[in-house]
Amino acid sequence: MSRPDSNDRATLAAERLSLAYGRVSIVDSLDLIVPDRAFTALVGPNGSGKSTILRALAGLLAPRDGTILLDGRSIARLPAKEMARRVGVLSQGPGAPEGLTVLDLVRQGRYPHRSLFGRWSQADEDACARALWLTGMDALCERPLDSLSGGQRQRAWITMALAQETDILLLDEPTTFLDLAHQIEVMELIAALVGDRGKTVVAVLHDLNQAARYADHMVLLKAGRVAAAGRPDEVMTVESIDEVFGVTACIMSDPVTGTPMCIPLTRGRPATHSRGDALLREGNESGHSRSLRLQPQSCLGRNPDGKTEVKPAAEKQT
């Protein structure tokens, strides 16, 4: 699947969006485009507005100003059930009643498609079966949620969202509290839903390298504003990491996927050196220190076979 440009047609978008909790402003005049049939990652420091924006896109938080559009229509004018038929939402750390099985949970995803007194239909049954099969949870459908591993529980919640049969999925930190193996399991599932099933996914993520590896589109946020948006290689640069996180970093090419990979060097910049320089000190066996001056802007090079490598930019200082 090709990575989209930010100019691609978008079913979901925000225009001049301002969000607040009470008198505390979180997001101010934000414009956001969510490319269709792509995986968009919202990344940024704590407090940058990622989860708040996701809640607004889901219709769970009313804007103080601006508009969120779904197929060109303001979501404020859409009935709740119609919104739920179009957009599936998985909040951070969702809870469930004790003893609830995977199948019980997944069936709740059919609520938007049923009338007040509507009976459980074959269409509902088929939708649940498809969702369970897609996520590989069919073999665990009778298991109580509290008996599952963290990765399995997260897959169960994603299965419920899939049972809604929405084209758009909004996921708030889907890998939080998961170990590395389960993080990869969930991220590969999300990528497959986009690549194989044509879903549009927006996820709040904290791991920059994970976002760059799996997402098609990245939105880097700082203090409620978009600092950068586009393909991962456009967004994850030395300058943007410095500006948004206050961290001097080297951006390398992932040796497996070719996607950008952030290697943090220092937090902030030594006052005696120019912007973008990092001074690393290493103790050697003789007890003396060795200073390595790294130029992050030039830390990527090409070797003769065309592969990306780190340039030997260190020099010994006395």
Across 127-153, average pLDDT: 92
Q: Which domains does the chain have, with CATH numbers?
A: 12-236 (3.40.50.300), 237-318 (no CATH)
pLDDT category, 313, cuts 50, 70, 90?
A: very low
- Where is average pLDDT lowest: 28-32, 252-256, 304-308? 304-308
> Which pLDDT belongs to residue 311?
41
Q: Is the pLDDT assigned to residue 289 strictly greater than 70?
A: no
- Return the beta strands (E) in the chain as ranges: 12-21, 24-34, 39-43, 65-70, 73-74, 87-90, 168-172, 200-204, 217-222, 225-230, 247-253, 260-267, 278-283, 289-294, 300-302, 308-310
> Which pLDDT belongs to residue 220?
98
Work out the burial of residue 243: count CB atoms within 10 Å of its CB; fewer than 13 is exposed, 13-18 middle, 19 or more buried: middle
Neighbours of 23 (CB within 10 A): 5
> Which pLDDT belongs to residue 116?
58
> Which pLDDT belongs to residue 269?
52
> Which pLDDT belongs to residue 25?
94
Q: What are the tens digits of pLDDT across the range 90-116?
A: 887 677 777 899 999 999 988 887 765
What is the share, in percent, of the chain residues with pLDDT greater than 70? Answer: 79
> Which pLDDT belongs to residue 117?
62
Q: List beta partners, residue 204.
A: 42, 172
What is the share, in percent, of the chain residues with pLDDT greater than 90? Answer: 60
Q: How far apart are CA 136 and CA 189, in angstroms?
A: 10
Q: What are the tens digits of pLDDT across the range 215-248?
A: 999 999 999 999 999 999 999 999 999 999 999 9
**Two tokens at 31?**
């414009």
Which has more pLDDT, 274 or 102?
A: 102
DSSP state at residue 135: H
Q: Is the pLDDT assigned to residue 275 strictly greater than 50?
A: no
CB distance 14 to 67 below 8 Å: yes
131 vs 142, 158, 159, 261, 305, CA distance in Å?
A: 15, 9, 5, 33, 44
Q: Is the pLDDT assigned to residue 56 strictly greater than 60?
A: yes
**Two tokens at 242?**
């410095």
Across 46-55, average pLDDT: 95
Query: Which residues lie below 8 Å from residue 306, measured CB to CB, with a gap of 6+?
Result: none
> Which pLDDT belongs to residue 268?
59
> Which pLDDT belongs to residue 283?
37
Q: List beta partners, residue 19.
A: 27
pLDDT category, 88, cuts 50, 70, 90?
A: very high
> Which pLDDT belongs to residue 121?
86
Q: How far apart are CA 250 and CA 294, in angstroms?
A: 9
Model pTM?
A: 0.78
Q: Which H, E and C letters describe 215-252, residue by residue?
A: CCEEEEEECCEEEEEECHHHHCCHHHHHHHHCEEEEEE
Q: Counting runs of H as helices and runs of E as strands, what totals does the chain give? A: 9, 16
